[in-house]
Chain A
Amino acid sequence: MSWVRRREIPLLIFAITFIIGCFGYYIEHPAMGKIYSTLFDWVLLMSNLALGTGLIAMTLYHGKKIAKREKGYEMSFVVFGALILMFVSCYASPASREYLYAKIYTPASIAILCFTGFSEISGLYRAFRVRSVEAFFLALAGFILLMHFAPVYGFFIPGVEKVASWLLDNPAMGASRGIVIGVAIGTIAIAIRVLLGYEKAYTG
């Protein structure tokens, strides 16, 4: 097996960056501080480099799709059109880039968001239907939150907001912290498993 494809390489990179990241957070030393900040500079550099490779990969993918007339190849023309338009507008006229972003991209995103809004409301209806004990508590929590945020409840039932606040600040907070602590402990476990090479999901 070529050394580039060996599973040990990503593991080694993870181990080095994990140790620097972990110890750099706790240890105060000029050398460690410099390594720590250099590492984060590398992260930024690699992210930007990945954008470039992503652009190449996307161009190749859509180019092949058009060349082979694969299913939905017409949309690849739209991708190229949008890509060229945005690229040219960035260099030729920043004002037109702002226009494209604010007047075309943002409204289009919001339109799609509204389309999914239907699903959101229907999902909430399904979530709040009392068909199990968990759903009952979720519906109860939703009702309590309504009492907390809608002043009309306080007008008709004085003091009800205080009950809602107490429930949110005490039992709900306690339960949520339990989940947070569990996740934090699980995070350490995953980090150790990755460090020892048992958890290999990130290598594919």
Chain B
Amino acid sequence: MIKGELASTFVVLLVFIALYLYCIYRAVRGKPPMIRKVPGLDAMEEAIGRAVEMGRPIYYSTGVGSLDGGDMPMTMAGMTLLGYSASLAASRGAELRYIAAVPQLVPIAEDMLRTAYRDAYKPEQITFVPSQVALMSTIVGTYEREKPAANFLLGALYWETVVIAEAGARAGAMQVGGTGRLYQVPFVVALCDYSLIGEELLAAGAYVSREPSQLGSILASDIIRFITIALIIIYVIGSLFGVDASTILRF
């Protein structure tokens, strides 16, 4: 029934899912784990405060990553942070504007901004541009004209990263960037004031909500990470002695 070559990975996946469910159950029952501070996420509040003081807008982009395939988790994390930053900006009286390059994200963003701003919501707060080239040129022009106080660049970012982050830097905006896409991580780190690398971005939903259930999933992720590191060490030691330790997970 289960494809032969995938049997071991299927079992490992089921074990991981069980571990996630256990950690979430444990956290909900009253033992939520501690989560370390993520400077990039804390900086979003500071950037919004800066926008209020300067009376300038905050711009937000999730890049050209969509809600499918490998981009999905990063885009979803980016959208979670859009909801968080929109409600924070609305409560402080700052204007947050979202530039989307993926049509599916427009109604989601619209709903988030409407919920956050209520009667103060303006349709101009969301701009849709249909392609990567259009996104880059729109952002370069808009940032040059409007000089935003803060620029958030969070999601599955492609090579628009360097252009958007550079436009933000030229405009003097405080920048928070984050992605799990390998080739864009160096640009985010070098060009943004604060950066979220890889899983930091994916843990953002749990970090900003502080819900025990979500924090439980972070604990499970950490346990799985330690198991992975242990397996890598066993494999390396085994290789030194001529033993193929990867057979542990083949059955």
Contact A26 B3 (CB under 8 A): yes
Provide the residues of chain B in CB contact with A122, threshold 8 Å.
166, 170
11 sample A-B contacts, Cβ–Cβ < 8 Å, listed by A number = A26-B9, A116-B133, A126-B166, A138-B189, A176-B182, A179-B197, A187-B72, A188-B13, A192-B20, A196-B24, A198-B213
Provide the residues of chain A in CB contact with B109, threshold 8 Å.
204
Contact A188 B107 (CB under 8 A): no
**What's the least CB distance linking B233 to chain A, in Å?**
13
Contact A119 B166 (CB under 8 A): yes
Contact A199 B16 (CB under 8 A): no
Q: Which of B10, B166, B170 has the most CB of A within 10 A?
A: B166
Interface range on chain B: under 10, 10 to 19, 20 to 34, or 35 or more? 35 or more
B220 at the interface (CB under 8 A from A): yes
Q: Which residues of B contact A (CB under 8 A)?
A: 1-3, 6, 9-10, 13, 16-17, 20-21, 24, 67, 70, 72-74, 76-77, 79-80, 82-83, 103-104, 107-112, 115, 131, 133-134, 136-137, 140, 162-163, 165-167, 169-170, 180, 182, 185-187, 189-191, 197-199, 201-203, 205-206, 211, 213-214, 217-218, 220-221, 224-225, 228
Contact B163 A189 (CB under 8 A): no
Provide the residues of chain B in CB contact with A127, threshold 8 Å.
162, 186-187, 190-191
**What's the least CB distance linking B224 to chain A, in Å?**
5
Partner of B21, one of A28, A29, A192, A203: A192
Provide the residues of chain A in CB contact with B197, threshold 8 Å.
179
**What's the least CB distance linking A36 to chain B, in Å?**
12
A42 at the interface (CB under 8 A from B): no
Alpha-carbon separation in the docked complex, A85 to B217 (Å): 52
Interface range on chain A: under 10, 10 to 19, 20 to 34, or 35 or more? 35 or more
Contact B221 A186 (CB under 8 A): yes
A134 at the interface (CB under 8 A from B): yes
Alpha-carbon separation in the docked complex, A141 to B187 (Å): 12
Alpha-carbon separation in the docked complex, A191 to B77 (Å): 11
Shortest Cβ-Cβ A-B pairs, 4 listed: A204-B111, A123-B166, A186-B202, A182-B199
Q: Known interface pairs A123-B166, A201-B80. Does A26 touch B218 (Cβ–Cβ under 8 Å)?
A: no
Provide the residues of chain A in CB contact with B187, threshold 8 Å.
123, 127
Q: Which of A122, A176, A181, A185 has the most CB of B within 10 A?
A: A185
Provide the residues of chain A in CB contact with B218, threshold 8 Å.
189
**What's the least CB distance linking A83 to chain B, in Å?**
12
Alpha-carbon separation in the docked complex, A19 to B136 (Å): 37
**What's the least CB distance linking A61 to chain B, in Å?**
9
Contact B137 A199 (CB under 8 A): no
B79 closest partner in A (C-beta): A201
Contact A192 B76 (CB under 8 A): no
Partner of B224, one of A25, A27, A185, A190: A185
A139 closest partner in B (C-beta): B190
**What's the least CB distance linking B177 to chain A, in Å?**
12
**What's the least CB distance linking B236 to chain A, in Å?**
11
**What's the least CB distance linking A151 to chain B, in Å?**
24
Contact A28 B3 (CB under 8 A): yes
Partner of A202, one of B67, B131, B199: B67
A178 closest partner in B (C-beta): B198
Provide the residues of chain B in CB contact with A192, threshold 8 Å.
17, 20-21, 24, 217
Q: Known interface pairs A186-B221, A192-B20. Does A116 touch B180 (Cβ–Cβ under 8 Å)?
A: no
